[in-house]
Chain A
């Protein structure tokens, strides 16, 4: 039986993988979003409010939080339709900061067992006790996270093999060329934003219930930068890319704790060097096609 520290790292990898997959999906469509942490945060608050203040079952809260994140992601998708490249990135960053600052203003507390519970601005939102109230062990919660992660991965693998997935890759390749294939990019960019918002939201609700305490500062730009880096490190050629990125990030950072304050410098340097030599990550499209062809030849032989 793995100890709690290891399980916590494993569950962390699972939750962060969801926001990594969210950023990855947008990267595939050619959009660099610095704002996925906002949808993670929206769902963290909404999901936690639903279980803690309203007494909803966890799974319903998970759908509610993620659905709300998806809805807002869709609205932001509509607002940012006409911008691309750097301007899109700046707009998503500005939106995410706006959400974070709004969370500082969010006060919604309800008296439970004689105590005020709920988000209280900068003081955050504690007492998110669904795990304890239902006697869920760390192992059980980790399994819940990975069950959802596997479902998301399965869905994304199917998506990658579908025509919609191909359209997402076409948009990432050449928007004008996609248009001249008879496809209206608007529809598909919004679809990608909604799906990505939902996936980030799944991670957010899990995160809030795992740590039992959340505050606006958690959902700052560094979470967004990391979520982008996962896909860019692991590779944009396959859905497994961001997961490899998360494992490298969290696993590597944990393994060099001995370097204390210098570990982020070492890690940042390694990422920079890697992106120079592998700009689309370890498992980029060319390597994925090569691996597939090797496997195909191997099976044929």
Chain B
């Protein structure tokens, strides 16, 4: 599915990632954790083509996608959400999800000049179904900027998975949420989003990670310090030290 080989990225004097190897097993939910500034979001930005790595390879289904643009990588089958929520705030909830479907299939001029909300367009049904999955169907006509934070996170998730991507990257899906809201997002991911899909969840919250992930990778200071099943990884001394510090 996705494999990173010796990926490094330097910003000025700062080494954001150093020789990171990563493997995302297909059909499972993997987690990527690490303290603030450990390079998690940089890694996601490299996978999705927003940044190019200085060295290394990003293999998606065996093909090196380094050098591909962000829009090409989306069309290859990678979709993402953002740590700092990004929605088209002046468009409605439904339009936000429809936006993700424009480039699905053949983005010819005939398709582009077609109406966005055509009743017999399968894209409309796909969008409505995605909104139903994340319990946002009743808010379909609401302007996205007026949604509360948890609902905007749900909208981002709907927009990311509506294309049925091969790889779904969720960057802090519970960022800024209360414990109850976090539990709701965890159950949404576990029960409705993850089944049958390859996901990478980037998160700080261990309860969410241990709830939804079957595979875990830990970054610290831009280097991978552990990888494996959540139970074993979270007990490793270097992981505990990275999160809690040395005695």
Contact = CB atoms under 8 A, between A and B. Distances in A.
A181 B123 CA distance: 14
Interface in B142-172: 143, 159, 163
Contact of A181 (B82, B89, B99, B113): B99
A: interface residue count bin: 20 to 34
Contacts of A172: 90
B102 A162 contact: no
B112 A164 contact: yes
B174 interface: no
Contacts of B99: 166, 170, 178, 181
Contact of B113 (A162, A180, A184): A162
B179 interface: no
A238 B104 CA distance: 27
A50 to B, nearest CB: 29
Nearest to A173: B88
Contacts of B30: none
Interface string A190-230: 00000000000000000000000000000000000000000
B69 interface: yes
Contact of A184 (B69, B90, B100, B117): B69
Contacts of B74: 179-182
A167 interface: yes
Contact of B50 (A165, A176, A293): A176
Nearest to B103: A182
B143 A179 contact: no
B118 to A, nearest CB: 9
Contact of B143 (A167, A176, A286): A286
A235 B80 CA distance: 32
B214 interface: no
Interface string B61-91: 0000000011100110001101000111111
Interface in B84-110: 86-92, 95, 98-100, 102-104, 107
Interface string B177-208: 00000000000000000000000000000000
9 cross-chain pairs, A with B, having the tightest CB-CB distances, nearest first:
A182-B103, A182-B74, A173-B88, A285-B90, A164-B112, A179-B70, A182-B75, A177-B86, A184-B71
Given A163-B111, A169-B90, 15 more contacts: A161-B115, A162-B115, A163-B112, A164-B113, A166-B95, A177-B87, A179-B69, A179-B71, A180-B70, A181-B102, A182-B71, A183-B103, A285-B91, A285-B143, A289-B141
Interface of A: 161-167, 169-170, 172-174, 176-184, 285-286, 289, 293
